[in-house]
């Protein structure tokens, strides 16, 4: 992880005055500052690739090996995509194309990440926000803790990403900056008073514990997963910047 923890600390410091003002009901200015800071924090949580490499442990390895073999046998795919190894399938060079997914696949992506976060221990989940100094892109650290159904969903997502790359066609509209901001800011707006106090405590006492950081990650993903399908797809594509430029197969 490169300076990830220092980046999160700076964001937490930016949150502190806005959270304090908003929590004490000082009016629109405090709320606007809160929203601006939380928007930056939410985007930072997804700024890193989702996956790094898959450990050679049990069901995850077998499921992704089967996927690699299936793609390798598919003559309709270009050779470069047929030759993808398991490590390459889950690597940033492949997952970064999630911005090409259509609405239904984008929804599956978000629901699967939410399900993953709810299954892993706080010590693993908390590392996503740098609480434990871990790598926020470590899916290999989470896979041993999730059930077979969740792993199967990851395999489906990765296959759809590869096929979207082969098609080279965007999955749909990309949310504008204004639309993305509105969608993400709806998440903290729905927090209860107790949860708002928890966020204030996190901002005033960095670094957050694994438990607190994991809670925030779960709240964020659950909130995105609740968006209507026609909003969720464009939001996910915007979070990935519309996907990297397509390379020749």
Q: Which residue has the tokens 């650290």?
A: 141
Round to whole Å and give the CA distance between 191 and 218.
13
Residue 243 is assigned to a structural domain of this protein: no
Does the residue 164 lie in any domain?
A: yes
Domain count of the fold of the chain: 1
Is 247 within the bounds of a domain?
A: no
Answer for the pair 200, 37: CB distance below 8 angstroms, yes or no. no
- pTM beyond 0.85, yes or no: no
CA 116 – CA 170 distance, rounded (Å) = 26
Q: Coil, helix or strand for 97?
A: helix
- Measured CA to CA, the distance from residue 72 to residue 37 in angstroms comes to 45
Could you list the residue range(s) of the whole structural domain that residue 171 is in?
A: 1-238
In a domain, 49, yes or no: yes
Asked if residue 246 belongs to a domain, the reply is no
Let me know if residue 130 belongs to a domain: yes
Cα 207 to Cα 186: distance, rounded to the nearest angstrom: 25
pLDDT per residue rounded down to tens, the chain (249 residues): 333 333 443 444 444 444 444 444 444 444 455 455 455 445 544 444 444 444 436 888 899 999 999 999 999 999 999 999 988 887 778 888 888 999 999 999 999 989 988 998 887 776 655 544 444 445 666 777 889 999 999 999 999 999 999 998 888 999 998 998 899 888 877 889 899 888 778 878 888 788 888 888 888 889 999 999 999 999 999 887 655 555 544
Phi, psi (deg, nearest 5) at residue 245: -60, 135
Two tokens, residue 90: 């889950």
Cα 198 → chain centroid: 22
Neighbouring C-beta atoms of residue 93, cutoff 10 Å: 12
84 in any annotated domain? yes
Alpha helices in 126-176 (DSSP H): 148-167
Contact assessment for residue 124 and residue 211, using Cβ atoms and an 8 Å cutoff: no
Residue 249 lies in a domain: no
């Amino acid at each position: 992880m490169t300076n990830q923890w220092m980046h999160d600390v700076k964001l937490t410091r930016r949150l502190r005055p806005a959270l304090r003002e908003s929590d004490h009901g000082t009016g629109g200015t405090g709320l606007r500052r809160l929203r601006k800071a939380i928007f930056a924090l939410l985007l930072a949580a997804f700024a890193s690739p989702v996956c790094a490499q898959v450990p050679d442990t049990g069901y995850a390895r077998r499921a992704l090996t089967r996927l690699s073999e299936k793609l390798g046998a598919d003559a309709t795919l270009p050779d470069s995509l047929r030759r993808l190894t398991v490590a390459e399938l889950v690597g940033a060079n492949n997952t970064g194309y999630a911005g090409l997914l259509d609405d239904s696949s984008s929804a599956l992506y978000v629901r699967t990440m939410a399900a993953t976060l709810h299954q892993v221990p706080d010590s693993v989940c908390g590392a996503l926000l740098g609480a434990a100094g871990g790598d926020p892109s470590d899916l290999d650290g989470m896979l041993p803790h999730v059930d077979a159904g969740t792993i199967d969903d990851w395999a489906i997502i990765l296959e759809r990403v590869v096929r979207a790359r082969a098609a080279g066609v965007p999955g749909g509209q990309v949310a504008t900056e204004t639309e993305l901001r509105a969608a993400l800011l709806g998440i903290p707006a729905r927090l209860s008073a107790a949860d708002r106090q928890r966020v204030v405590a996190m901002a005033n006492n960095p670094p957050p514990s694994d438990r607190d950081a994991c809670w925030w990650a779960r709240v964020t993903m659950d909130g995105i997963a609740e968006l209507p399908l026609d909003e969720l797809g464009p939001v996910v594509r915007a979070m990935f910047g519309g996907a990297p430029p397509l390379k020749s197969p």
